[in-house]
Amino acid sequence: MTPAELEGQESTLEVLNDELAARLARQSDSLAKIDTKAVFLIGFAATAAQFLATHKHHTVLAYFAFGAYALALLAGVQTFRVADHKDLEPRPILVTHARSPKSKVLIELAATRTSIFEENKRRHQQKAQYWTASLWLLVLGLGLSTVALLHT
């Protein structure tokens, strides 16, 4: 695209940048919500394991339940472990584009936001998978705990 054609697309580029910025904000919010859900799952699994440990239970079933709780805890921790969440780096953008025309800055921002979104998407999918595994392991642990407590 020539500079003149690029300048003619400024309003379109502004709309695209606004949408990409909003989408990155929604993605970040979604990541935070998954972390919150993981913390609650971990707390529930730990409490359920403590409850089972303090009551008379069928030993073999209880060991399987404790194993499921332990795996639920590990998957939950993997969900919210510290990892890089990509975002725009202000200084490089400012240094690189401070004297550039608006249309060039907008297209560069759109391209940068797109690649950041794609990198974060992989992390988002991993978090969701770990959270799902943690949830199912908790459900398994609760089922085993119930049977272990009933068969004493």
In a domain, 64, yes or no: yes
In a domain, 39, yes or no: yes
User: In this structure, what are the phi and psi dihedrals at residue 118, rounded to the nearest 5 degrees?
Assistant: -65, -40
In a domain, 58, yes or no: yes
In a domain, 70, yes or no: yes
In a domain, 106, yes or no: no
Mark out the alpha helices in the chain (DSSP H runs). Answer: 3-8, 10-53, 59-80, 90-97, 102-150
Q: What is the pLDDT of residues 53-66, one digit of tens each?
A: 999 999 999 999 99
* Segments forming the whole domain that contains residue 74: 35-89+123-150
Q: Count how many domains the chain has.
A: 1
Q: What is the pLDDT of residues 39-55, one digit of tens each?
A: 999 999 999 999 999 99
Report the alpha-carbon distance of residue 81 to residue 89 in Å, rounded: 22
For residue 105, count other CB atoms closer than 10 A to its CB: 18
In a domain, 14, yes or no: no
Q: What is the pLDDT of residues 65-111, one digit of tens each?
A: 999 999 999 999 999 876 666 777 888 888 888 888 888 888 889 99
Q: What is the pTM of this model?
A: 0.79
